[in-house]
Structure 1
Amino acid sequence: MKIPPVATARLLLHPLTADEAERIVARAPRAGDLWAEGYPQDGDVRACTGFLRGVAGRGDPGVFRPYEIRLRDTGAAVGGIGFHGPPDEVGVVTVGYGLVPGARGEGYASEALRALLETARLAGVAGVKGDADLDNPASHRVMEAAGMRCVAEGEGLRHFYRGF
């Protein structure tokens, strides 16, 4: 299934194919891949590993996949964002994201998350959830800036949600 990229003012969210996810898991870029220093991170590898397991078990998830966060002006991949899988039985999806250290503090994560939330809304989900470690206030601010609100805290995590 061909999923179009999601463009924002400064970013392009590139929907990963299984082949691209395999390269990320192997940390083996092909000629032409432009990866910023530190990309992929461990979280990108975990997200792509889960995506590949899901494709093998359930088939292509449509828009509910990982996306590479690329800078529009250079094309460099500076992180990842995406869904942990298709919506659950009540229509809620879980999101995750991360940027390489050199790309943090520029508002890219919030910009990417707002775009991903709109992708989820257009796909008809009931809501989107995400979480971050209690000691990660930068990630809390990202979710809040994207319109998610804190709904719970526990076991070292702060949980966020946005309904549609």
Structure 2
Amino acid sequence: MDDLETKRLTLHLMSPAEVADIVAGEPGANARWSPGYPSDGDKAGARRYLSTCETVGDPRPFGSFEISRRENGQVIGGMGFHGVPDEHGQVTIGYGLAPEARGMGYASEALRALLEFARSQGVASVKADANLDNIASHRVMTAAGMRLVGVDDQLHHYLVDWTDKDDA
């Protein structure tokens, strides 16, 4: 699969070996990581991906993506699926950016690209969540076209559903 590209970003679908570098906290030979990347959240997502590879096989193209700036190739974050679509065609996604890359619209830009990719792969809906106090992430998901569908004592839950006429 080719990388996904936006105006300012490249989303690179990583191999299991590249994901293992994130767990280890060691950039591969060609990686240029931004300060603050990978975060603990990136490492947790990488461990989940590797566990999936071990138990059910490599889920690519529903795997982990590195987000880098096209202008200089610096990796500024990660984004990915929590696995293959379920029996209803739904996937869950997560993302994060290095602190120095936040507040510039990169997360919304990358999320829009990943949502478009998911839809092109026949996914029916995508869900994500964010902590109650993570207002920036709430804005990212809304800006990317997701809608708030629920709130519990810890999280705001978002969804984009292409089976709904309003989102088609």
TM-score, structure 1 length as denominator? 0.96
Moved over 4 A (4+): none
Residue 88 of structure 1: how far off its partner (Å): 1.4
Q: C-alpha distance in 1, partners of 2:77/2:39?
A: 8
1:118-160 deviations in whole A, cap 9, x for unaligned? 0100010110000001101100000000000000000210000
One-letter identity of the residue aligned with 2:8: R
1:111 equivalent to 2:124? Answer no
SS at match of 1:105: coil
Match of 2:68 in 1: 70
Q: C-alpha distance in 2, partners of 1:80/1:28?
A: 15
One-letter identity of the residue aligned with 2:82: H
Q: C-alpha distance in 1, partners of 2:41/2:83?
A: 15
Q: C-alpha distance in 1, partners of 2:86/2:30?
A: 36
Match of 2:97 in 1: 99
One-letter identity of the residue aligned with 2:132: L
Deviates more, 1:145-154 or 1:84-93: 84-93
One-letter identity of the residue aligned with 1:153: V
Residue 29 of structure 1: how far off its partner (Å): 1.5
Give the 5 Å matches for 1:85-96.
85-96=83-94
One-letter identity of the residue aligned with 1:150: L
Give the 5 Å matches for 1:2-81.
3-81=1-79
TM-score, structure 2 length as denominator? 0.94
Q: C-alpha distance in 2, partners of 1:122/1:60?
A: 20
1:37-62 deviations in whole A, cap 9, x for unaligned? 01111111111111111111111212
Q: Which runs of 5+ in 1 are unaligned?
A: none
Q: Percent identity?
A: 52
Q: Which runs of 5+ in 2 are unaligned?
A: 163-168
Q: C-alpha distance in 1, partners of 2:113/2:130?
A: 19
One-letter identity of the residue aligned with 1:70: S
Aligned residue-pair number: 162
Match of 1:139 in 2: 137
